[in-house]
Structure 1
Amino acid sequence: MRARATLVGGTALLLTAALAAPALAATGGRSDGGRPGTGHAATREAIEEAVEAGVPGVTATANDTHGTWSTTAGTGDLRTGAPRSAADRYRVGSITKSFVATVLLQLEAEGRLSLDDTVDRWLPGVVRGHGHDGRRITVRRLLNHTSGIYNYTADEDFARSYFLRDGFFRHRYDTVTPRELVAVAMRHEPDFAPGTSWNYSNTNYVLAGLVIEKVTGHPYATEVRRRIIRPLHLTATSVPGTRVTVPRPSSRAYSKFTEPATSRTYDVTNLSPTIAFSAGEMISNSADLDRFYSALLRGKLLPARQLKEMKTTVKIEGAPNIGYGLGLMDTKLTCGVHVWGHDGGIHGSASSAATTADGRHSLALNFNGDWAGDTAAVIEKEFC
């Protein structure tokens, strides 16, 4: 799995493809359209390169001190030829983790839990089996992926059922409970003893969602809506639960699964997001993600102490330019600029959101294909 990890990770591989690259279109609050000399020309070039590399379509929105700028490229619907829209809603995958961590940090600020509470305090007996022990793992270690808990999406049977072609089309509408997701992980040994290393595990954030529910008495989705979505007026953002469709406006999402790049492209838009739960089920659009991360980094969602905790990172082996905090990644770009945010991937969708430390410059983008392109290259061009 890449250091800038996503829900699907190493199972739904990002493969190459050869699709035509339609002309780039610009929309949004600024009229410069990303022309040379206006600040976004390099970003548009990187987006165009992604489509040339095989991504069906891209939507992106940036916000800075000069205003809001949006652009689209490629196709939103391969059947009809409809383009992508700057207002497209899409599955954000593991970007969900930033929302979940924010809620837990708010609960800490309210004195309702401590990040140093054990998982077992809130979920007694849930983390047990094959060496897993929730009495030795803190909530903090869930959020920064130092728990050692096995990643349920790495389980071969789970991957075969939900991430490979035949299994996906048999099981795409299955409803899976979060306890069942945790149980998959408990069938394996831990990756390491708590606190001794780092490994991205979606199981950590399924458990984090369950902790929120135990502390508040409400579904984690209710707390995300009440504490973040409504106060920030994120009108395109939702926690779908068992809803299998993506609200409009939206584009279709496509995958080639693990087949050769020249193979058929499959429409995977509709699926049960319960396979992700609080590790990656949310839906949003680029403007909402910019607003969320900008508000977060500006201290509008967390007191200074909790924001500092969130930004306290651990090193990721093999990725010296990336540190992982509490549901938030710090990436040092090649030009020396640091951006904070997260990546997210789920069937047919690859997303990234990045914001400067002062919250004044944000970019969020989405590819509606999961086998080609590099969202990190777009971020480099926007901020460097």
Structure 2
Amino acid sequence: MPPIRTWPVLPVAAALLALLPADSSALPAPPTDSVLPLLVTRGGAPAAALLAREGDATRYARAGIGISRSDHFRAGSVTKTFVATVVLQLAAEHRLSLSDTVERHLPGLVRGEGNDGRALTLRSLLTHTSGLYDFTADTGGTAPVTPRQAVRIALTHPPAERGRFSYSNTNYVLLGLVVEQVTGRSYAAETERRILSPLRLTGTSFPGSRSSLPAPHGRAYAADGTDVTALDPRAAGAAGEIVTTLTDLNRFYAALLGGRLLPPRLLREMLDTGAAHGAYGMGLLPERLPCGLTVWGHNGHISGSYVRTAATADGRHVLTFRVNTDALTDPGLEPAMLAAEFCPRTSWNDRVPNGDPGSRHSFG
């Protein structure tokens, strides 16, 4: 069979767009659903899907072939929001402090090439201001490594300037180790206990070394059309291991931003972008839209999958969309999708900006 990218575009151009209301209170279709097929025709994805939630109403749409609402998929760096939430819960319980040094919890681990865990705080890991090198720049984001191997790879490189935002998956691998040190359980087990079970996120899991996806699932493709559905999640670990569903992601972000997982003080800290100079909170990305609204969420970029979740600050309106390939070939489509969902009266020209909206990182 030829690579997926050589398949005829005609069925895709015909949209194959399905609007499937989840219940009698389904939302009316906004401009978002006209942007969705462009993720296929202009973005180069074999298929795309979105699920929007506003209050108790939901709306689902898809474009292309081989993707469905109930699919399990890899969500890459969306994992970081879950890990950050667990760390902040531990802070609320006074089991750690965000001002603790990395050295306090992981003595002797972060040393070498100018890196020093005695000078780094947990806050600097959460906000990507530690300066630690991103280990995936060496592994390509596909080679399985243990957490300590990932850290050792990062420590063969000198750090970037501390205090400046520099996205690094190494930060969240270390936070996963901190959670294990503090609780005596893996970050995956602790996240399941604290978040997945209480919110009934039954489609979400941390696969460990399992390379297959739970059923049901579609296929995942690299940019060249290679099938990469099977993937060893140890390539990502606490920086991007999670497998989930559209429904679960919307439920999680609605609960988090709605105040169900953190006390108000720590939720405000999570949304504070001061340390990262406006670029990042703690496990959350802000996105200011053309209509002036700022939405909060995260993207996830891992081999064969790209995911983006965004929500209003109160968690009442949430959008998650995904494609079954590494990334979109037209990067302007992501901000267009968010503007169409949250600013439906914004003009089309404002929805599709010129230029590159930002760099892409392994696992998001």
TM-score using structure 2 length: 0.87
Structure 2 CA distance for partners of 1:125 and 1:229, relative to 1, 3 Å: same
Name the residue aligned to 2:359.
Answer: none
Give 1:71 shift.
Answer: 1.1
**For structure 1, which segment, 175-184 or 367-376, has the greater mean C-alpha deviation from structure 2 after superposition?**
367-376
Give 1:315 shift.
Answer: 7.2
Structure 2 CA distance for partners of 1:65 and 1:33, relative to 1, 3 Å: closer
Q: What are the within-5 Å matches in structure 2 for residues 207-246 of structure 1?
A: 207-246=174-213
Q: Distance in 1 between matches of 2:336 and 2:215?
A: 28
The secondary structure found in structure 1 opposite 2:311 is strand
**For structure 1, which segment, 233-242 or 19-28, has the greater mean C-alpha deviation from structure 2 after superposition?**
19-28
Name the residue aligned to 1:332.
Answer: 288
| 2:259 matches 1:299 | yes
Which of 179, 183, 190 is 2:152 aligned to? Answer: 183
The answer for unaligned runs of 5 or more in structure 1 is 1-15, 77-83, 164-170, 257-263
Give 1:191 shift.
Answer: 1.2
Which of 31, 52, 56 is 1:42 aligned to? Answer: 31
Q: What are the within-5 Å matches in structure 2 for residues 50-89 of structure 1?
A: 50-53=39-42, 54-65=44-55, 67-76=57-66, 84-89=67-72
Tell me, yes or no, if the aligned pair for 1:144 and 1:314 is still in contact at 8 Å: no
Structure 2 CA distance for partners of 1:375 and 1:250, relative to 1, 3 Å: farther
Which of 273, 296, 299 is 2:233 aligned to? Answer: 273
Give 1:283 shift.
Answer: 0.7
The secondary structure found in structure 2 opposite 1:274 is helix
The secondary structure found in structure 2 opposite 1:314 is coil
Deviation digits for residues 141-171 of structure 1, max 9, x if unmatched? 000000000111112xx22xx55xxxxxxx6
Name the residue aligned to 1:347.
Answer: 303
Give 1:66 shift.
Answer: 5.8
Give 1:375 shift.
Answer: 3.1
Tell me, yes or no, if the aligned pair for 2:46 and 2:324 is still in contact at 8 Å: yes
Write the letter of the residue equivalent to 2:236.
Answer: A
Deviation digits for residues 256-288 of structure 1, max 9, x if unmatched? 2xxxxxxx5100010101010000000111111
Moved over 4 A (4+): 16-19, 30-34
Q: Identity percentage over the alignment?
A: 48
Name the residue aligned to 1:12.
Answer: none
Name the residue aligned to 1:79.
Answer: none
Tell me, yes or no, if the aligned pair for 2:270 and 2:283 is still in contact at 8 Å: yes
Give 1:376 shift.
Answer: 3.1
Write the letter of the residue equivalent to 2:281.
Answer: G
Name the residue aligned to 2:353.
Answer: none
Write the letter of the residue equivalent to 1:72.
Answer: R
Q: Distance in 2 between matches of 1:153 and 1:51?
A: 28
Q: Distance in 2 between matches of 1:336 and 1:67?
A: 24
Tell me, yes or no, if the aligned pair for 1:19 and 1:56 is still in contact at 8 Å: no
Q: Distance in 1 between matches of 2:136 and 2:274?
A: 22
What is the count of residue pairs matched by the alignment? 331
Name the residue aligned to 2:214.
Answer: 247
The secondary structure found in structure 1 opposite 2:176 is helix
Name the residue aligned to 1:311.
Answer: 271
Write the letter of the residue equivalent to 2:60.
Answer: S
The secondary structure found in structure 2 opposite 1:116 is coil
Q: Distance in 2 between matches of 1:331 and 1:313?
A: 11
Structure 2 CA distance for partners of 1:314 and 1:267, relative to 1, 3 Å: farther
Write the letter of the residue equivalent to 2:38.
Answer: E
Q: Distance in 2 between matches of 1:57 and 1:144?
A: 33
Give 1:204 shift.
Answer: 0.2
| 2:334 matches 1:375 | yes
**For structure 1, which segment, 365-374 or 211-220, has the greater mean C-alpha deviation from structure 2 after superposition?**
365-374
Which of 298, 318, 322 is 1:362 aligned to? Answer: 318
The secondary structure found in structure 1 opposite 2:123 is helix
Q: Distance in 1 between matches of 2:8 and 2:282?
A: 38
Give 1:19 shift.
Answer: 5.9
Which of 16, 21, 28 is 1:23 aligned to? Answer: 16
Q: Distance in 2 between matches of 1:46 and 1:377?
A: 7
Tell me, yes or no, if the aligned pair for 1:19 and 1:55 is still in contact at 8 Å: no
Which of 105, 109, 134 is 1:151 aligned to? Answer: 134
Give 1:18 shift.
Answer: 8.4
Q: Distance in 2 between matches of 1:367 and 1:236?
A: 18
RMSD: 1.9
Give 1:370 shift.
Answer: 1.6
Structure 2 CA distance for partners of 1:33 and 1:231, relative to 1, 3 Å: closer
Structure 2 CA distance for partners of 1:32 and 1:56, relative to 1, 3 Å: farther
Give 1:314 shift.
Answer: 3.5
Give 1:337 shift.
Answer: 1.2
Q: Distance in 2 between matches of 1:291 and 1:91?
A: 17
The answer for unaligned runs of 5 or more in structure 2 is 344-364
Name the residue aligned to 1:134.
Answer: 117
| 2:143 matches 1:206 | no
Structure 2 CA distance for partners of 1:17 and 1:215, relative to 1, 3 Å: farther
